[in-house]
Chains A and B, each alone.
Chain A
Amino acid sequence: MHTVAEFRITFSRILDPDGTLVAPLPAFAQPAEAVIPLYRAILLTRRFDAKAVALQRTGRLGTYPSSLGQEAVGVGIAAAMGADDVLVPSYRETAAMLGRGVNLLELLLLWGGDERGNDFAGPRQDFPVSIPVGTHALHAAGAAYAFKLRGEKRAAVAVFGDGATSKGDVAEALNVAGAWRLPVVFVTIDNQWAISVPRARQTAAETLAQKAIAAGIPGLQVDGNDVIAVRAVVERALGAAREGEGPALIEALSYRLSDHTTADDASRYRPAEEVSRRWREEPAARLRHYLAEAGVWSKDDEERTIAEIDAEVEAAVAAYEATPARDPATIFDHLYAELPGPLRAQKATLAGGESDG
């Protein structure tokens, strides 16, 4: 008997939880100031999330899934993507979507129960959030095939959680992406929790990254709370994909510091001490320390930036609440390219007009 295959999974980190450099900085992170936009993006996500949660609590927004604690993954992904790439997100993707140019008003409309929030003015080809878990990994593979067929140097990025890696759809997506050598990068944000099911009970696999091995594609781990490392790893994978070298699966390790959604109460199933421990590894603090130590970030910068962000968020909330309601008859719009006859009669009944239905 002899070994026919072995695998190795590597873990990358550049900035440790204290904000200390533990690996060489990639070019995009030099000089230190170059990282400030990434920090600002993390703050924007965090402040918006907090506002969204507060709005939900006062009945002004529907159920909302906060990204508290895992902002760096989405920020890093969006920063690594090119304008022509396509993002295929899960539902807990505020950070990446903001980074891609989805605006705050659109996010508020979506979670506020209005489909107009999915009609992105910015990234016109990005997919909307996917509520069913993991099904969208296949969409990214399909989009990637379109790039390949048309000979375009573009890549698709599918982002999903640790729970999603148990889904057949994800396994099928990894498999077909590998079999067809598709220009798609899969990022699984391992935030340790799938609602109330902890990572240890989700799978026997030691890492999620190794699920790539089964599909015959590269799989690697990165510290998801280290935005610099996330961006570096995703950027490398995207470059390879665009050059025709095929897909990759990246496991970004993080922690979901919030409840699953505003309706969930995580204290029902996880101990407060564990969450406290994880707060000490959160992505914003380590970056702030690093920037402060590097002498490029002052307390005035912090205060000013928070104030600017809060004003941006407030303006978006005002615009959201001032958005005129849709005519109920628009329920029938965009069902098909053109509304078929009997449905026109139905629409008329909703509008209170004459109908033969």
Chain B
Amino acid sequence: MTAFKLPDLGEGLVEAEIVAWHVGVGDRVVADQPLVSVETDKAVVEVPAPRAGRIAKLHGAPGDILKIGDPLVEFGEAPAADTGTVVGRIETAAEASAAKAPVAAGAPGIKAMPAVRALARKLGVDLALVSPSGPDGLVTKSDVERAAKALAEAGPPEPLRGPRRAMAARMAQAGRDVVPATVVDDADIGPWPAGEDVTLRLIGAIVGACGAEPALNAWYDGHEMVRRVNRRIDLGIAVDTAEGLFVPVLRDVGGRDAADLRAGLERMKDDIRARTVPPEELRGATITLSNFGMLAGRYATPVVVPPQVAIVSAGRIAERVVAVDDKPAVRPMLPISVTFDHRAVTGGEAARFLAALLADLARPG
């Protein structure tokens, strides 16, 4: 910064009083431009700038007395920033903003005019359940009215609760994740003694089959793509009740004898009837048995519930005509289906498992 001193005003004057500044800090001035009015004995005199420049500092205020030679103003050398405008204020970004990738459009939704949507809401119709008859998949007013009529003729809406709700959620999840495949066959149980407990025989057969082909007694995590073959067999047993489907777990079926298993089964049935199954008893199955043969049905493709990878189902025992020694014979046949998650289990593994299962069931006892 260069200081400009109060110049000699002539006539032998040694000092002067500041009357008024004509410039301010930050002003750009040119040579000869009046900087300040000062009062001397004789007159008020304007002191001109000696050069062009920017005023950085003023020395003194009106009323102050300066001596000739005292600093008057200081000029700054740095030029003021270009405002880049002639009116107003233009904001400047401090740094460049990163370019953002454009967001892909979402999936198209249900198409319906606003009045139609309002009608659907009023009638309690879920537009997702309405099949559109309008052009381009548009849901029309008559579509909504038709759906409302159908709904009215159906029973009142019953929100799912308890076991039904849990089943709906569990099966939906399984349906999203599992890739099911099924292999079926029949076991000739003619050799069985009279009064044989079907459930206990099935449990035993499953134990044997898991020993022959442990791959079906495993847990699979589809997200991490990790498989855990379980050493212990905790068998889920599907039980149908008035309230819905329960699948309590019989622990370590491979390590218990028949009497223990029988007792366990009885306790399980009692607990279910009495609604006292603790929640832990419904979790952690490594493989599941669904014996629907007491009701009806032959083969089935029931749902594999993750993290399990297999479910064994047994259908209704029936007398069937089969070939024995090249001649037709009537034999009691127990239909067996093995449904497996093909993400984690191969067809070969499933077939070997089934073979072992059938071999065990075919034994007399």
Contact = CB atoms under 8 A, between A and B. Distances in A.
Contact of A276 (B22, B52, B88, B89): B52
Contacts of A260: 86
Contacts of B44: 299, 302-303
A257 B29 CA distance: 10
B33 A195 contact: no
B88 A299 contact: no
**Range of interface residues on A (Cβ < 8 Å):** 20 to 34
Interface string B100-124: 0000000000000000000000000
A53 B23 CA distance: 10
B24 A292 contact: no
A320 interface: no
Contacts of B88: 62-63, 263
Contacts of A279: 30, 32-34, 48
Interface stretch (A13-21, A70-78, A200-208, A267-275): A267-275
B67 interface: no
A54 interface: yes
Interface string B233-258: 00000000000000000000000000
B28 A267 contact: yes
A292 B52 CA distance: 29
Contact of A275 (B33, B37, B39, B43): B33
B83 A265 contact: yes
Contacts of B46: 285
B97 interface: no
A57 B26 contact: yes
B58 to A, nearest CB: 12
A197 interface: no
A135 interface: no
B42 interface: yes
Interface residues of B, number: 31
Contacts of B28: 259, 265-267
A306 interface: yes
B80 interface: yes
Interface string A108-129: 0000000000000000000000
Interface string B299-325: 000000000000000000000000000
B92 interface: no
Contacts of B34: 279, 285
A275 B30 contact: yes
A14 to B, nearest CB: 23
B80 A280 contact: no
B25 to A, nearest CB: 8
B86 A195 contact: yes
Interface in A253-296: 257, 259-261, 263-268, 272-273, 275-277, 279-280, 285, 292
Interface of A: 47, 50, 53-54, 57, 62-63, 195, 257, 259-261, 263-268, 272-273, 275-277, 279-280, 285, 292, 299, 302-303, 306-307, 310
Given A257-B33, A261-B86, 17 more contacts: A50-B22, A50-B23, A53-B24, A54-B24, A57-B26, A63-B88, A263-B87, A265-B28, A265-B83, A272-B52, A276-B30, A276-B31, A276-B32, A279-B48, A292-B43, A307-B62, A310-B20
11 contacts: A50-B22, A63-B87, A263-B85, A263-B89, A265-B82, A279-B33, A299-B40, A299-B42, A302-B19, A302-B44, A306-B19
